Structure 1
C-alpha cells in the first residue's frame, strides 16, 4: 500500500469541493499537516470536518486504514489540521505462537 498515492487522492478529493480553493500537505518533523483554504459565509468548522472525513473515506475505500484529524489553528480563511492515515493495530494473520488474540479464535 502506497501512502503517497492515498495522500494524493485525498488532496484531490478535497479540491473537488467548491468551498475549498486550495489544499496542501506539509510535513514538519514527520507529522503531516493539511492546509486548507476554505471560504464559507459563516464560520462552520463542522462542515469542514465533514468534508475532510468524506475525502478521507473516499481515499481509504477498499484498504485497511483509519484516519485521525485534529484541528490545529485558523488564520483568516486558512485552516490547519493534523491529519494522519494509519493501519489499525489488529492481528491480521496467525503467527503460529497461539497468542490469546489470534485470528483463529475469532468467531
Structure 2
C-alpha cells in the first residue's frame, strides 16, 4: 500500500470542492499537516472538517486504513489541520486480560 498515492488522491479530492482554493501537505517532525485555503460565506470549521472526512474516506476506500484529523489553527481563510492515515493494529496474542478484541474471540 502506497501512502503517497493515497495522499495524492486525498489532496485531489479536496481540491475538487469549489470552496477550497488551495490544499497542501507539509510534514514537521514526521507529523503531516494539511494547509487549506477555504472560502465559504460563513467560514464554518465543522463543514470543512466534514469535507476533509469525506475526501479521506474516498481515498481510503477499499483499503484497511483509518484517519485522524485534528484542528490546529486558523488565520483568515487559511485552516491548518493535523491529519494522518494509519493502519489499524491488531492484537497478535492473548495478554490474559479478557480484552474485547482478544484473539481468542475471533472465529
- Scaled by the length of structure 2, the TM-score of the pair is 0.88
CA distance in 2, matches of 1:105, 1:25: 40
Secondary structure at the residue paired with 1:42? coil
User: In structure 1, the residue corresponding to 2:58 is in which secondary structure?
Assistant: helix
RMSD: 1.3
Matches within 5 A, 1:86-101: 86-91=86-91, 99-100=93-94, 101=102
- Partner deviation per Cα, 1:53-77 (whole Å, 9 max, x = no partner): 0000000000000000000000010
Partners of 1:67 and 1:32 in 2: how far apart?
A: 12
| Number of aligned positions between the proteins | 100
Which residue number corresponds to residue 57 of structure 1?
Answer: 57
**Structure 2 regions of 5+ residues with no counterpart?**
95-101
The structure 1 segments of at least 4 consecutive aligned residues displaced by more than 2 Å after TM superposition are 99-102
Shift of 1:105: 4.1
- Structure 1 length normalisation: TM-score? 0.88
> What's 2:36 paired with?
36
SS at match of 2:10: helix
Aligned partners of 1:55, 1:105: CA distance in 2, in Å? 34
CA shift, 1:14, in A, is 0.2
